[in-house]
Amino acid sequence: MKTHLRISAGRGKHKVQLALLLAGKDLVVAIFGGNYPHVGAVAVAVPRPSLKNPNKLSATSSIFTLIGHKDDEIARTASEELARELNRVVVVSVGIHQNNASETDIQKFIQNARQAVKKAIILLKGENS
């Protein structure tokens, strides 16, 4: 099993990179893109039984957002999805910034971040089967 992965989604100025490191059973993930990658928000998610259906996995997360940044929603959803789908504790750092980004640009970055997370899940599930 690989100890690290590097995945991308999207093209051009909307390209998002995902770097993943296995830390034992746990995951450390960085999602970044745009013309100024940085650390804007960090999320930690822990898998747990769903409150509605204890036979399903869910996740609980905690988020730290740096002042003036809006990367927290990507960090939250990515960490919770990875934790839930892979049954691992996950730390996700997100920093995506594009100068003069329109709402369309922002939505493309969000979509590409989600796609990169889905690719990571597929790859990691494939290695465990």
Q: How do residues 49-90 score in pLDDT, each as one tens digit?
A: 999 999 999 999 999 999 999 999 999 999 999 999 999 999
User: Residue 13 CB: number of other CB atoms within 10 A?
Assistant: 14
The CATH number assigned to the domain with range 4-127 reads: 3.30.230.100
What confidence tens digit (pLDDT) does each residue in 4-33 have?
999 999 999 999 999 999 999 999 999 999
Domain ranges of the chain: 4-127
pLDDT in tens, 90-124: 999 999 999 999 999 999 999 999 999 999 999 99
User: In the beta sheet, which residues pair with residue 21?
Assistant: 4, 28
CA-to-CA dists, residue 73 to 23, 24, 93, 110, angstroms: 24, 26, 11, 9
CA 41/CA 78 separation, integer angstroms: 12
| 121 Cβ contact partners less than 8 Å away, ≥ 6 residues apart | 81, 82, 85, 86
CA distances from 78 to 24, 56, 61, 125 (A): 19, 18, 10, 16
User: DSSP for 62-79?
Assistant: EEEE-TT---HHHHHHHH
